[in-house]
Amino acid sequence: MSTMNDQKTPSSGDVYSLAEAEDARLIKEDAESLSQGQLIRRRFLHHKAAMVSVGVLVFITVMAFSSIGFAGLPGWWGKTYLDAGTVIDGGRPTLSLIPTWLGGDGIRWGEYPFGQENTGKDYFALVMRGTQKSILIAVIVGAVATCIGAIIGAVAGYFRGWVDSILMRVTDLFIVIPLLVLAAVLGQIAGNLGSSIVYLALVLGLVTWTGLARLVRGEILSLREREFVSAAQSMGSSSGRIIFKHLLPNTIGVIVVNATFAIAGAILLETSLSYLGFGVVAPESSLGLLISEYQNSFTNRPWLFWWPGVIIVAIALSVNFIGDGLRDAFDPRQTQKRSKKRKAKANA
């Protein structure tokens, strides 16, 4: 800028040179300007941990739902999680990943890849069934809790005053409810009614929105003082429009990250419930139930403990990494940092 001014003789037009230079850059850059959605997608696709996690999660989900079938649809795996059979080779898993030239048994899937449990049921089918349940619960709880939390937080933060006071006291009330006890009671009722696990998931969602509501409220309290909100108010926008169009999209980072925590938390909550015997009951299968049932066989038949454990950890971890990647992708302030890096790379 200074060099440009030095070269020119000072004239009245010179005053505009900075502004004009900026406009010229805007025109020049339009060829490669990207929409907001494209930028978010690009940033997310460049996040390695998140992409690996998406792969892992998709793999687990597809395996769980396609192998033994879901909701009446048949799967490609021949055995069901209900049929008992004769126990072969002490129920040892037939899955092998070490090739023969490394001294292993060769890469094979085998008759019972995850082994068999006491009565000869196929453990692979049982674990897949449990994974289905866990994913289902996690998604429902995550969705319900996120919707309720975001809306209550946004309304409280935007209107403030007595609306805020009432909503936040209600939130406090929900926080002090011991979650595990409530879920245990409800799980028991749901079990007695013979109803589906979906109701348990819905109720869990109805009590786990509190953390998100508080976070969103805090965000909105700071966002509502921004001038773009005042501009929308002055032109006569309705409160609902301001909340949903201007405020909530700006809290998407908090919401997404918290939703992933809620999902991971829900999986662990379901696991704990089933482990304690309140959630899913046999002959249904769930990851927590499998762990609790076979915790005693940890020493002699560890695979009965390891498979569901590994899958729980894999789902919870990958969901968290995806949330991390999404938060980075949604952050509008990341734009310049990343693009500078890219430019530096291009120049080098």
Partner 1 sequence: MTAQATESAATAEQTAPVIELRDLHVHHRARTGKLFKPTTIRAVNGVDFTVRRGETVGIVGESGCGKSTLASVLVGLQEPTSGTRLFHGRELANRGAPRKEFGKAVSIVFQDPATALNPRMTVHDILTDPLQVHGIGTKESRTRTVYELLELVGLPRSAAEVSPTQISGGQRQRVAIARALALDPEVIVADEPTSALDVSVRAQVLNLLSDLKSRLNLGMVFISHDIQTVRYVSDRICVMNFGEIVEEGEAARVFDNPTNGYTRTLLGAAPSLLAAPTTSSEEA
| Part in contact with partner 1 (CB under 8 A); list of ranges 100-108, 177-185, 190-198, 236-244 | 236-244
Q: Tell me which of 15, 58, 84, 173 binds partner 1, using CB under 8 A.
A: 15
User: For residues 28-67, which are near partner 1 according to CB under 8 A?
Assistant: 29-30, 33, 35-36, 39
Of the pair 36, 100, the CB lying nearest partner 1 is at: 36
Name the residue type at position 343: K
**Left if phi > 0, otherwise alpha if psi is -120 to 50, otherwise beta: which for 306?**
alpha
Token reading at 342: 């890219």
Q: Counting contacts by CB under 8 A, is residue 16 touching partner 1?
A: yes
Contact between 253 and 327 under an 8 Å Cβ cutoff? The reply is yes
Q: Rounded to an integer, what distance in angstroms lies between the CA atom of residue 105 and that of residue 88?
A: 17
Q: Which residues contact 219 (CB under 8 A, 6 or more apart)?
A: 153, 157, 250, 251, 254
CB of 19 to partner 1, least distance (A): 4
| Part in contact with partner 1 (CB under 8 A); list of ranges 22-30, 85-93, 191-199, 265-273 | 22-30
Q: Counting contacts by CB under 8 A, is residue 241 touching partner 1?
A: yes
Q: Rounded to an integer, what distance in angstroms lies between the CA atom of residue 125 and that of residue 74?
A: 13
Site pattern 280..299 for partner 1 (x: CB under 8 A): --------------------
DSSP state, residue 116: B
User: For residues 206-235, which are near partner 1 according to CB under 8 A?
Assistant: 226-228, 230-235
Token reading at 223: 């966002």
For 306, other C-beta atoms within 10 Å of its C-beta total: 16
3-state secondary structure of 96: strand
Q: Counting contacts by CB under 8 A, is residue 17 touching partner 1?
A: yes
User: For residues 302-321, which are near partner 1 according to CB under 8 A?
Assistant: none
Interface with partner 1 by CB under 8 A: which residues? 15-19, 22-23, 26-27, 29-30, 33, 35-36, 39, 226-228, 230-238, 241, 245-246, 249-250, 252, 332-333, 335-336
